[in-house]
Amino acid sequence: MLAKERQNAMLEIVRRDGRATIADLAQTFDVTTETVRRDLSLLSQKEPIRRVHGGVVLLPPVRHEFDLEERKLCFPNEKRAIGALAASLLSDGDAIVIDEGSTTEAFAEAIFGKKDLVITTCSPEIAMVLHRKIKRGDFTGTIIMLGGTLNARNGCVIQGDCTPMLDRLYFNKAFSGATAVSEKGVFLWNNLEAEFTSRLFSHSETRIVLAESDKFGKNSFFLYSEFSSVDRLVTDASIPIPEAIVRAIKEAGTELSIARLPGAND
């Protein structure tokens, strides 16, 4: 059996069963475990699978969105690394907007040492994070909270009076999250939130998406931005990004910034 045929057959097993062990695949295809590891490494670069200890698992599509508090518990180290890298992109005097989300909240937590920022957000939780940081002297600036109807599940305001208010504001930089990233672009689960985030982007000179590597290679419900409308995508190095997505990002001219976790090997 040729290597490509073997890899395709391995992929079918993972798709069928949702997971597979290296030992079982080596026995099934009568190859060494080192060969299986090489095959899985190649497959994970372009297919929605993830290497785990002793094997591989299939990455499911995003079929629903967890509550904000649940999302905060997922990949906290990756979120902090992404947030720190994103915060390094700020300059004194920036007028920015921060969309709701657990990763964008980690970005807000990472803002230090900047002067005279003007920060707009639709998230009461992010607004309170920023308020506490200003009181502690972490940075100086002004916080603008968009008003309207609160979505308690996601902790954001995207309806009511916030849209007319937003239409009068313009930003140097917009920071948003994502529920999934594929070669098509960046997704959110809720169509109202996606339309709102698209509006944020239309009012910003520079558009920056923050997304953990676990979200790459998946699809969600609503495509809110193609890569051509994203200036920079910030992610982490925990999971390799599929080659098809890297190629789509480069072809669109989007900058890809990868944050390394503390203690991670280069």
Q: Which residues of the chain have pLDDT under 50?
A: 68, 266
Do you know the residue count of the chain?
A: 266
The pTM (predicted TM-score) of the whole model is: 0.73
Cβ(239)–Cβ(215) below 8 Å: no
Nearest Cα to Cα of residue 226 among 188, 252, 265 = 252
The amino acid at residue 81 is: A
pLDDT at 266: 44
Distance CA(182)–CA(177), nearest Å, equals 14
pLDDT at 65: 55
pLDDT at 60: 59
pLDDT at 189: 78
pLDDT at 49: 78
pLDDT tens profile 133-149 = 999 999 999 999 887 66
**DSSP 3-state of 69:** helix
- Structure tokens given for 193: 């939130």
* Structural domains of the chain ordered from first start: 3-58 (1.10.10.10), 68-259 (3.40.50.1360)
pLDDT at 264: 56
CA-to-CA dists, residue 96 to 1, 66, 196, angstroms: 55, 26, 15
Distance CA(2)–CA(5), nearest Å, equals 5
pLDDT tens profile 58-92 = 765 555 555 545 555 567 889 999 999 999 999 99
